[in-house]
Amino acid sequence: MQKLNMIQAYRHLEETNSVVFVASPDNAEQARLVKFRIITEQDVVLQVSDVDYAPEIIDPETGEVIQPRVVENPRNTRLLTCVTKGFDEVEFYYQGTFALNLLGGDIWLSTFDSAFVDTTPSDFTNYARLWEREERDPRILEIERAARHNQEALKRQMMEDFAAHAAALEARYAANVTAPKTDAASGTASDQSGVSTGAPAGDPPATPPAGTGAAGEQNDGA
């Protein structure tokens, strides 16, 4: 169920208008509770901005406007919320006078306390100028060019040094792997060449043992 309250309390606000909510001068330093009831036929984005507000001054005797209402210097524009198609309620706290801006379409607005709000046309004039690239100082450009050249030269030198170091490591590793095999082969050959199968040249000839008889007795030469 949706509680819309008094339908006649809703005011039609166009997208091109800003709604100003004036803070009480007695409570300028205190945030106040703000409640909206919104009816819309499409999704609408709500934005709030701080403004400098001066109410109009009317001469009580003649009814003439001595000073018109002034709303100026919108600043600190921020996204409030996005209301979807249909009915929605928005509640927040705010300090000071602010303006409510609409993006995306019109709405029907009612405040929680049915307070009357003033509207003013929004100024959508864009004072921003197209950004143009300014000409840079030729001396700065020359310094940047030299810096890029030096950086590229240093990078090439580092890559060459790294390649040379890697090649030296590979060569040293290959030498360490092949060296033990050569030593082992030469050592084996020298060992084999130093071994003699016969008796040494300086040893006396072997003396045959004394002859024995048929019965196994010693031959006494008789």
Task: Give the model's pLDDT for residue 96.
Answer: 82
Amino acid identity, position 152: E
Task: Give the model's pLDDT for residue 189.
Answer: 46
- pLDDT tens digits for range 27-46: 767 888 889 999 999 999 99
109 CB burial (10 A radius; 0-12, 13-18, 19+): buried
pTM of the entire structure?
Answer: 0.46
- pLDDT tens digits for range 158-209: 999 999 999 999 888 888 887 655 554 455 544 554 445 555 555 555 555 5
- pLDDT tens digits for range 94-103: 888 888 889 9
- DSSP 8-class letter at 30: S
